[in-house]
């Protein structure tokens, strides 16, 4: 929840869903495109490549959702455990907790008198919220949201993986690997630029960073695939 009285958009508010969405889309594009590139280099047919792409999409999306949920849920569990500990301490030692909060505000630059007054007022309003925010570092904007993160990861992975699938459908079989590679690199460039835009950083650097690692992954997969000439196996 924002308490600003004017239009002031902070980028940290996007951190949770942006991280999951970028990671999912990036993984969807790179992993599925690299998988297709490797299979194409091995001599697999267009039909086999399409089936491989579908399988990679389904397994990847579910894996991303499960992994992200478990990871963020673990963070959420830790936050909840810390809040329970803090709630017990506030009940057992309210005066010590007040001193602790006062000390925190003193370290941030307030005079001891003002720090004490601020601590008293915030404690009276919502002691647990004050300690969660200023002592533990948990607040509404950055709190872990497992379901949101899992959904963002799965959806964005699916979007990313659909792109090489469409490339397979629209391209002639003789040029599948080339078209998939071009679509993959362009998709990564756009993803890098868009994610950097929402993060408030350089779009060019974001695109280059994502593209370089994507190209490396595709090249390595193609090399591995070329070692196994599936199309020549009877």
What confidence tens digit (pLDDT) does each residue in 67-79 have?
888 988 888 888 8
Please give the pLDDT value at position 1. Answer: 44
The per-residue pLDDT of the chain, averaged, comes to 84
> Span 180-209, mean pLDDT?
86
Report in angstroms the alpha-carbon separations of 150 from 46, 56, 69, 194, 202: 32, 18, 5, 20, 27
The torsion angle over the Cα atoms of residues 103, 105, 107 and 111, rounded to 10 degrees, is: -90
Residues 144, 17 contacting (CB under 8 angstroms): no
What confidence tens digit (pLDDT) does each residue in 205-215 have?
888 988 998 89
Q: And the tokens for 37?
A: 């590139």
SS3 label, residue 202: coil
> Span 186-200, mean pLDDT?
84
Q: Above pLDDT 70, what percent of the chain?
A: 87
- Of 16-30, 161-175, 196-210, the range with the lowest mean pLDDT is 16-30
What confidence tens digit (pLDDT) does each residue in 92-148 have?
998 999 999 999 999 999 999 999 999 999 999 988 888 988 888 877 666 667 888
**What secondary structure, in 3-state letters, does 32-57 show?**
HHHHHHHHHHCCCCHHHHHHHHHHHH
Please give the pLDDT value at position 233. Answer: 42
Q: What is the pTM of this model?
A: 0.69
Cα separation, 84 vs 57, in Å, equals 40
pLDDT at position 4 over 50 = no
């Amino acid at each position: 929840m924002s308490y600003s009285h004017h239009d002031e958009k902070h980028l940290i508010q996007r951190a949770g869903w942006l991280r999951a969405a970028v990671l999912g889309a990036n993984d969807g594009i790179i992993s599925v495109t690299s998988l297709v590139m490797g299979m194409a280099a091995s001599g697999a047919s267009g039909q086999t490549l399409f089936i491989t792409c579908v399988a990679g999409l389904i397994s990847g999306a579910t894996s991303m959702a499960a992994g992200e949920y478990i990871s963020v849920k673990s963070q959420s569990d830790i936050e909840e455990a810390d809040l329970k500990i803090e709630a017990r301490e506030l009940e057992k030692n309210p005066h010590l907790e007040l001193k602790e909060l006062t000390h925190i505000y003193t370290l941030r630059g307030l005079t001891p008198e003002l720090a004490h007054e601020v601590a008293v007022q915030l404690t009276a309003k919502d002691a647990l919220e004050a300690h969660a925010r200023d002592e533990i570092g948990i607040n509404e904007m950055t709190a872990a949201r497992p379901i949101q993160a899992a959904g963002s990861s799965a959806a964005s992975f699916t979007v990313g993986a659909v792109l090489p699938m469409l490339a397979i459908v629209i391209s002639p079989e003789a040029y599948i690997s080339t078209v998939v590679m071009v679509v993959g690199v362009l998709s990564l460039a756009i993803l890098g630029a868009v994610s950097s835009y929402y993060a408030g950083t350089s779009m060019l650097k974001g695109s280059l960073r994502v593209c370089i690692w994507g190209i490396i992954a595709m090249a390595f997969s193609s090399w591995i695939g070329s070692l196994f000439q599936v199309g020549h196996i009877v």
